[in-house]
Amino acid sequence: MNYYDFQVVFQEVPGEISLCFTICGCPIRCKGCHSSHLWSEENGKLLTYKKFEQFLLQYDDFATCVLFMGGEWHEEELLKMLKIAKKYMYKTCLYTGQENVSTAIRNELNWIKTGKWIPELGGLNSKNTNQKFIDVKTNTVKNNLFIKA
């Protein structure tokens, strides 16, 4: 599983400081995608389990969550990384353009963002969006956390 970018992010998971990995090989290819460079599986660098653990250890006194932007198409590797993150006491989140992911993946998540990018509907900060930010434990949609009053 290759990752194109790693960032520490503050807004994608409200209330959390997240280690964000953008994963290559997206099969969804949404119209208007601003990250079409992620469509190719060969882009980016290999995210080994060892390298992933190094990231977790480096930020263990700072970050609280691990966020994958995609990667559900690499189910076995993603599952192992989610379990490693939980072992290190990180919360977990997946941003996917799909409406559903496997139960196995969902069981390892605290939050999931679902839904294709449709430019005219906007993202999570739009009241018209098709996307949903879901608290997996309670199965409640938390889009209100992104809407500014």
Domain that holds residue 113: 2-145
**Interval 20-52: pLDDT, tens:** 999 998 877 776 666 757 766 778 999 999 999
**Interval 100-117: pLDDT, tens:** 999 999 999 999 999 988
Conformational region of residue 46, where left means phi above 0, alpha means psi within -120 to 50, and beta covers everything else: beta
pTM score: 0.94
Q: How many domains does the chain have?
A: 1
Could you give the percent of the chain with pLDDT greater than 90?
80
Q: Is 37 helix (H, G, I), strand (E, B) or coil?
A: helix
- CB burial of 81-107 (b: ≥16 within 10 Å; e: otherwise) equals bbeebeeeebbbbbbbbeeebeeebee
Cβ-Cβ contacts under 8 Å for 3 (sequence gap 6 or more): 21, 22, 23, 24, 44, 45, 47
CATH number reported for the structural domain that contains residue 119 in this entry:
3.20.20.70
CB 2 within 8 A of CB 24: yes
Q: How many CB atoms lie within 10 A of CB 6?
A: 15
CB 63 within 8 A of CB 8: yes
